[in-house]
Amino acid sequence: MTSKNVCPILSLGTLWHFFNAYYYIFGVFMILGGLWLMVFGGRFFKVTMFVAGQVSVAAMILIILFTRVYPNITPMYVVWLTLIVSIGIGAGIGYAA
């Protein structure tokens, strides 16, 4: 369908390729983080809230930047730099939670 009346396409472009290239790194972190939250999440409520706030804000920043600001062809070092900065911003907001 190529009509102007179809739904708009959301493309994550470089971010999608980045996570496909380094899926094993993020998979290990997600598995370990999930196990930690499963075992200690209720006991360390403040840490759990910090992690939830940090991950949510970092994901939101990444999605907004890579769908609206950055072009579809962005170098990988920009993705790493954006990931580090968004985790830092998320840490600040997660600390406030």
Question: What DSSP string runs through 55-75?
Answer: HHHHHHHHHHIIIIIS-SS--
Structure tokens at 26: 């993020």
User: What are the distances in angstroms from CA 56 to CA 36, 51, 91?
Assistant: 18, 8, 10
Question: pLDDT-derived band of residue 14, with 50, 70 and 90 as boundaries?
Answer: confident
Section 21-37 average pLDDT = 93
Strand segments (E) across the chain = none
Q: Are 95 and 51 in contact (CB under 8 A)?
A: no
User: What are the distances in angstroms from CA 94 to CA 29, 66, 67, 86?
Assistant: 18, 22, 23, 12
Which pTM value belongs to this model?
0.79
Question: pLDDT-derived band of residue 84, with 50, 70 and 90 as boundaries?
Answer: very high
Place of tokens 């996570």: 19
Question: pLDDT-derived band of residue 80, with 50, 70 and 90 as boundaries?
Answer: very high
